Amino acid sequence: MELNPYQERAVTVAGHCTILACPGSGKTRVLSERAARLLANHPKGRLCAVTFTRDAAEELRSRILASCGQEHARRLAVGTFHSLALAQIKRFSRGKPPRLLSEGERLAVLRRCCKQHAPDLPFDDVVQAIDAVKARLAPSPFTDPSLEAVFRSYQDIMESEGAMDFADLLLLSVRRMARGDMPPLPIRWLLVDEAQDMDEVQMEWILLHGRAGAEVTLVGDDDQSLYAFRHALGYAGLREITFALSATETTLPVNYRCAPNILGHAARLIAHNRERAPKRIEAHRQDAGEVHVIRAADRWDEAGQCVDRIRLDGSQWAVLARTNLLLDPVEVCLTEARIPYRRCGGQSVWDRALGATFLGLLRSVLDGAWTGVANALAFCGMPADQVNRLASFPGRDCLERLRAATRHIGSDADGPLIVSLLQGFEAWTTQARMQRHALVIHAVASWLSSHCKPDQARLLGRLEAALAGLSGHLARRLSLVGGSGNRQTPADSVAVMTLHASKGLEFDNVWILGCEDGNLPHTDSTEEDERRLLYVGMTRARHRLILSSAIEEGLESRFLEEAGLA
């Protein structure tokens, strides 16, 4: 892909520069070309490029060196904000630097503090509150005293153990640079990718380098700012840093990815946002794509129509939705249709509570392992302490342990549940030995269904049909749907993911599910954030875009009318 005139101008700007790029205009290409030119034309200066993930950093580094040559590698540093801050702290620390906690260690410490100071608060809410505080330079006071107690206790524990978490890396780096205890990185140029996703601390890290003399270039797309819930500053942050550095602002309006009619509808939608850089988005392509809007009866009808279209078409597809839960029916329908797919960035329907319990119980029928039986008993409502007590009963396999349990459980409330499972298990193992695989699947599903809520029973029925429709022995069927089987599918298989996870990707054909008011836009987010989310999803499509909704779930999304599709 050749750089268009806007990109040529952007990569030759000297000094401080903010580039507001549009989807499909090659943001990473712009950044890597600018880096390569700077290194090639200035043989002594050092350059640092920063982005948000290790994978993105590796890709950026390889692109830069491919353009300018490996001989410049010693003058190039590419990494995430956190990896660069960690190297900076290690280099300038007197004595031993603080130990970096793993994510598991961090959460374990937080759980201890939460149990002590805020046992009644949901743990996820506590983690979110702590993360929000650490994304600010001057954190706002906690509204809940128990949250503040958790935070103080957490920080005291880390200080006493000489440890820090990932958020502390940047905070420590910024505070030391601001006090003059540690110099900024010794670089002439600083390039920042996906700058719309920076939070307040990351922005200050950039500003401290700019004020120290580094020439800063930021590349981002304000219309793709999706992470306000992770404290990203979005367009407001891009404007603030542009003003603080007296930067030159360049807009790249040409989209190379989408067919012009797909881009046109997406551009009409995003134009309703007020907090965005003014730009005229143009399509480089001239060929017309396809855009369709479908209204289905319910979620299963919506998923069925989606999979039918994919089966008939046979080309590259991505299925996107606002939440992971909306993708479950599509995953089940793809399994039934034996269409290879990969669940990207989210938990498979087979790995969540109902699917995992169903598969685990079937595995126990095959190998006699207790884990699947124990999880099934817990799913059916048996208290955890009672389930754990059963594990101490004697027995070489599930049948022997269940028989021992029926002798010891007596008149306990859970007695009928254990007896029914024992009776079922005896029949299932007999049928499995006789190679009656489909019969085992139906029988296990029937027993489990009697302990399900109505919506769970409907989903279980589809899981049962999908598994029974596969060919081969029971062990082979379980391996096909259980986790690793789907991760080994070809790269051109159907991609199933959330709209958030689709950012930065592109596909020939895109189907967006669940376009109803209340879901997209979702009630838990702002309308501008939700509009950006749908805009990102629409602009993943090169040739064909389909947006669907379910009558049972409510009215069509008002975003469809804004996009000129209703």
pLDDT tens digit string along 255-266?
888 999 999 999
Q: What is the pLDDT at residue 416?
A: 84
Q: Tell me if 265 is assigned to some domain.
A: no
Q: What is the pLDDT at residue 488?
A: 52
Q: What is the pLDDT at residue 486?
A: 44
Domain count, the chain: 4
Q: What is the pLDDT at residue 188?
A: 93
DSSP string of 446-491? HHHHTTS-HHHHHHHHHHHHHHHTS-S-HHHHHHHHSSHHHHTS-T
Let me know whether 82 and 146 are in one domain. Answer: no
Q: Tell me if 260 is assigned to some domain.
A: no
Mean pLDDT along residues 232-239: 88
Number of other CB atoms surrounding residue 136 within 10 Å: 13
pLDDT band per the 50, 70, 90 thresholds, residue 564: very high
Q: Tell me if 270 is assigned to some domain.
A: no
Final residue in a domain of this structure, among 465, 481, 497: 481
In the chain, pLDDT over 70 holds for what percent of residues? 93
Q: Which structural domain range is residue 407 located in?
A: 353-481
Select the more confidently predicted residue: 83 or 15: 83
127-165, pLDDT tens digit by residue? 888 888 888 888 777 888 999 999 999 888 888 888 888
pLDDT at residue 397 greater than cutoff 80: no
507-529, pLDDT tens digit by residue? 999 999 999 999 999 988 899 99
pLDDT at residue 504 greater than cutoff 90: no
Mean pLDDT along residues 273-281: 85
Final residue in a domain of this structure, among 481, 507, 542: 481
Mean pLDDT along residues 445-463: 91
Let me know whether 310 and 360 are in one domain. Answer: no
Mean pLDDT, the chain, rounded, equals: 86
pLDDT band per the 50, 70, 90 thresholds, residue 410: low
Residue bearing tokens 């991760």: 487
Q: What is the pLDDT at residue 537?
A: 95
Q: Tell me if 546 is assigned to some domain.
A: yes
CA distance 121 to 124: 9
Least confident of 191-205, 245-259, 327-341, 425-439: 245-259
Least confident of 41-55, 448-462, 484-498, 499-513: 484-498
Q: What is the pLDDT at residue 492?
A: 74
Mean pLDDT along residues 412-425: 82
Let me know whether 19 and 69 are in one domain. Answer: yes
Q: Tell me if 266 is assigned to some domain.
A: no
pLDDT at residue 84 greater than cutoff 50: yes
Residue bearing tokens 């969540």: 352
Let me know whether 403 and 460 are in one domain. Answer: yes
pLDDT band per the 50, 70, 90 thresholds, residue 413: low
**DSSP structural state of residue 98:** P
Let me know whether 69 and 182 are in one domain. Answer: yes
Q: What is the pLDDT at residue 515?
A: 97
Let me know whether 72 and 201 are in one domain. Answer: yes
Q: Across the strands, what pairs with 20?
A: 220, 251
Could you tell me which residues are annotated as the binding site for ATP?
21-28
pLDDT at residue 491 greater than cutoff 70: no
CA distance 10 to 31: 9
pLDDT band per the 50, 70, 90 thresholds, residue 291: very high
Q: Domain with 245 in it: what CATH number?
A: 3.40.50.300
Find out whether 445 and 459 touch, Cβ atoms under 8 Å.
Answer: no
Q: What is the pLDDT at residue 483?
A: 52
Alpha-helical segments (H) within 99-199: 103-117, 123-134, 145-160, 166-179
pLDDT at residue 205 greater than cutoff 90: yes
Could you tell me which residues are annotated as the binding site?
21-28
Final residue in a domain of this structure, among 231, 252, 273: 252
335-345, pLDDT tens digit by residue? 988 899 988 87
Find out whether 313 and 509 touch, Cβ atoms under 8 Å.
Answer: yes
340-380, pLDDT tens digit by residue? 998 887 778 888 889 989 998 999 898 888 888 888 888 88
Q: Tell me if 413 is assigned to some domain.
A: yes
pLDDT band per the 50, 70, 90 thresholds, residue 386: confident
Let me know whether 42 and 120 are in one domain. Answer: no
CA distance 428 to 361: 10
pLDDT at residue 98 greater than cutoff 60: yes
Let me know whether 382 and 443 are in one domain. Answer: yes
pLDDT at residue 324 greater than cutoff 60: yes
pLDDT at residue 240 greater than cutoff 60: yes
pLDDT at residue 13 greater than cutoff 70: no
CA distance 431 to 362: 12
Let me know whether 373 and 462 are in one domain. Answer: yes
Q: Tell me if 269 is assigned to some domain.
A: no
Q: Tell me if 262 is assigned to some domain.
A: no
Let me know whether 441 and 536 are in one domain. Answer: no
Mean pLDDT along residues 68-76: 88
Let me know whether 188 and 247 are in one domain. Answer: yes
CA distance 442 to 465: 8
Let me know whether 388 and 445 are in one domain. Answer: yes
Q: What is the pLDDT at residue 485?
A: 39
